[in-house]
Amino acid sequence: MSFGLSRRRGVCLFIVVVLASIVAYWASISSAALDHAGEATGWILFTVCLFLLLFNVRKRMPAFPVIRAHYWLQAHLYLGLFAGIVFFTHTEWRLPTGLLDWALWLVFVIVFVSGVVGIVLTRIVPSRLNAHGERVIFERIPAFRAQLASEVEALVLRSVREAASSTIAELYAKQLLPFLSGPRNFRAHALSVTGHRRNLQREFDAVRRYLAPEGNALLDEIEERVLAKDDLDFQYTWQSLIKGWLMLHLPLSCAMIPLLAVHILINYAFSLGAL
């Protein structure tokens, strides 16, 4: 997937922007005429938010012949964008006042921004995962990591036994063991910075001069596994991100609905009082 603007995507974006602009323009005119524009935009927003939440309901009904999740997601994205514009129109592009409104404003903004982050992640993650080693199932990563660590340990022991060298063992104890014992360099992988990888390779290069040919052969095998572990860390980082953002987006989306309901109730209660 990419961010390229296909014809279909362009048409959908155009429609969303036009509809949202009509709502915003109508709201501004109504507001100038002292009409209740906020009430209308509020109901539009509430309805759209309910529909957006239905995507999660669809995911929980895989056995039913309802519309494919792919089309649901497309509708979710465009309606989410529409909801964002309507939201800021509804708030008249101003910060809220009052505790409940602040809570609602913050929750909506976080949900909206996390949604945008989600779109970006779903576009960039596949190509990044493909470019760094074999695709690995997330739940299997700890097992693969342990396997690599075990293989490296065996090779280090061989180096002590067969090459009668402590150089590799020292490198292992100081540098490799901490690296192999868990996921590392999360931030570097997330930012696609490769300095730590170059540093690791420099550590290997630094000890090569002290080793006999058989020691160097073992070191090559160890380096291969260490770099594979680094690829595994990369897979772990990006798969964590793609799974993690939803942990923020979804619960807050669910929390938003009762907040919206309370917001509506309070507004009607006060407006009735005013009448």
Partner 1 sequence: MAGEALTSYSKIPRPTRWDRAFGNAEMSDDDIALIMQQPFFDQIGEATFPAQMLLEDILRHDSRIVRYAQGDVIIRHGDYGNSLFAVIEGSVRVLLENSGDVRRRRPGQGRRWARAFGSLLQSRSRVENRDLTRYEIQTNRDGARRSTYTKIRDLDSIVAKSKTVELGQGEIFGEIAALTRQARSADVVADTDVSVLEIRWQGIRDIRRFAKPVRDQLNNRYRELTLANTLAREPLFSGLSEEALAAITQQSLIETYGEEDWYLRLQKVELSNRLGQEPPIVSVGHQLDDVIYVLSGFGRVTEPVEQGERTIGYVRAGEVHGLRELQDDHSGDGTGLRQTSLRAIGTVNVLRIPSSLVEQYILPGMSRNRSSTQLKARPGEDSQRRLDFIVDGRYMNGTATMLIDLTRCTGCDDCVRACASTHDNNPRFIRHGNSEADLMITNACMHCVDPVCLIGCPTGAISRIEETRTVAINDAACIGCQTCANSCPYSNIRMVEIRDESGQPVLDTDTNQPIIKATKCDLCFDTPGGPACERACPHDALVRMDMQDSVSLLKWIER
CB of 134 to partner 1, least distance (A): 8
CB of 70 to partner 1, least distance (A): 4
Judged by CB under 8 A, which of 66, 164, 173, 254 binds partner 1? Answer: 66
CB of 142 to partner 1, least distance (A): 16
CB of 51 to partner 1, least distance (A): 16
From its phi and psi, is residue 98 left (phi > 0), alpha (psi between -120 and 50) or beta?
Answer: left
Judged by CB under 8 A, which of 65, 213, 258, 273 binds partner 1? Answer: 65
Please report whether residue 54 would count as binding partner 1 according to CB under 8 A.
Answer: no
65: number of Cβ within 10 Å: 6
| End-to-end alpha carbon distance in the chain | 53
Q: Decide: 221 and 156 in contact? Cβ < 8 Å.
A: no
In the region spanning residues 167 to 196, those forming contacts with partner 1, defined by CB under 8 A, are: none
Please report whether residue 1 would count as binding partner 1 according to CB under 8 A.
Answer: yes
Judged by CB under 8 A, which of 63, 95, 274, 275 binds partner 1? Answer: 63
- The 122-141 site mask, x for binding partner 1 (CB under 8 A), equals x--xxx-xx----x-xx---
CB of 1 to partner 1, least distance (A): 5
CB of 108 to partner 1, least distance (A): 22
Please report whether residue 121 would count as binding partner 1 according to CB under 8 A.
Answer: yes
Please report whether residue 262 would count as binding partner 1 according to CB under 8 A.
Answer: no
CB closer to partner 1 out of 55 and 87: 55
Q: Decide: 114 and 252 in contact? Cβ < 8 Å.
A: yes
Please report whether residue 247 would count as binding partner 1 according to CB under 8 A.
Answer: no
Among candidate residues 66, 69, 65, 41, the one with its CA nearest the CA of residue 55: 69
Among candidate residues 84, 59, 77, the one with its CA nearest the CA of residue 119: 77
> How many amino acids of this chain bind partner 1 (CB under 8 A)?
28
* Start-end of H helices in 60-166: 69-90, 99-131, 141-162
Q: Which residues of 169-184 are buried (b: 16+ CB within 10 A; e: fewer)?
A: eebbeebbeebbeebb
Q: Which residues of 201-226 are buried (b: 16+ CB within 10 A; e: fewer)?
A: eebbeebeeebeeebbebbebbbebb
103: number of Cβ within 10 Å: 16
CB closer to partner 1 out of 19 and 124: 124
Q: Decide: 159 and 166 in contact? Cβ < 8 Å.
A: no
Q: Decide: 20 and 86 in contact? Cβ < 8 Å.
A: yes
CB closer to partner 1 out of 12 and 103: 12
- In the complex, the residues that contact partner 1 under the rule CB under 8 A are 1, 59-66, 68-70, 72-73, 121-122, 125-127, 129-130, 135, 137-138, 239, 242-243, 246
